[in-house]
Amino acid sequence: MGDKVDWGIVGPTGLGFHLTINPRKKPKATTTVSGQADIPDNDIAVRDLYMQHGLTLGDKELRALKQSRPQGIQAINTMLGHVPGFADLTKDQRLNFAMKAADALLEKSLEAKLSRDYPTALNEADEAEQRLQMIFEHMPGSGVKKGPPPSLLQSVPVGVSLTVHFSAKWLDGGK
């Protein structure tokens, strides 16, 4: 299978079993001979999040993210070195896991902040649906039926009928 299938426990929707067919090549973190971590950049994912919300990421913001990311990865890597199970991994394996965890945390926190500050059309549609649902559930009146909109529409006495008129000539065979 090789590069055709990838799986993991952390994915775009959180923890769980995630299977990806034809995955993109992900950069790997490595440890140099001197013991220093060689961590590749991941500014593409962050830039994509900003673009989904119609924003551009400036050089100043990108530089700040690039500088703080290795520190976060090193902090997670150090913590994992003390956790049973992770301490048994090789340095590179633990470093790659720390890099994935740091990137997932960064992307989720950025996505949450951007959704609040600069909602996309999909975010706005979800909010409008929630407001309409609340209005339907809290309508005043004694004889007012309450419930979700589809069930309320089913209780309205509306029907459809079809009437077809044939001419007498057509019934007689066109005579």
pLDDT of residue 54: 77
pLDDT of residue 169: 67
Kindly state whether residue 150 falls inside one of the protein's structural domains.
no
Question: What DSSP string describes 103-116?
Answer: HHHHHHHHHHHHHH
Kindly state whether residue 80 falls inside one of the protein's structural domains.
yes
Kindly state whether residue 41 falls inside one of the protein's structural domains.
yes
Kindly state whether residue 18 falls inside one of the protein's structural domains.
no
> What is the share, in percent, of the chain residues with pLDDT greater than 70?
69
Kindly state whether residue 62 falls inside one of the protein's structural domains.
yes
17 three-class SS: strand
For range 81-110, the mean pLDDT: 86
Residue 110, domain extent? 28-123
pLDDT of residue 73: 87
**Residue pointed to by tokens 């991994």:** 89
Query: How do residues 49-88 score in pLDDT, each as one tens digit?
Result: 777 777 777 778 777 777 788 888 888 989 988 888 888 8
Kindly state whether residue 165 falls inside one of the protein's structural domains.
no
> What is the share, in percent, of the chain residues with pLDDT greater than 90?
0
Kindly state whether residue 157 falls inside one of the protein's structural domains.
no
Contact 94, 86 (CB under 8 A): yes
First vs last C-alpha separation in the chain: 74
The dihedral built from the CA positions of residue 44, 46, 51 and 56, taken in this order, carries a sign that is negative
Name the DSSP class of 81.
Answer: T
Kindly state whether residue 99 falls inside one of the protein's structural domains.
yes
Is the pLDDT confidence value at 3 over 50?
yes
Nearest-10 Cα torsion for 113, 118, 120, 121: 140
Give every CB contact of residue 88 below 8 A, 6+ residues apart in sequence: none
pLDDT of residue 1: 43
Residue 45 — pLDDT band, cuts 50, 70, 90? confident
Domain count, the chain: 1
Comparing 87 with 157, which gets the higher pLDDT? 87
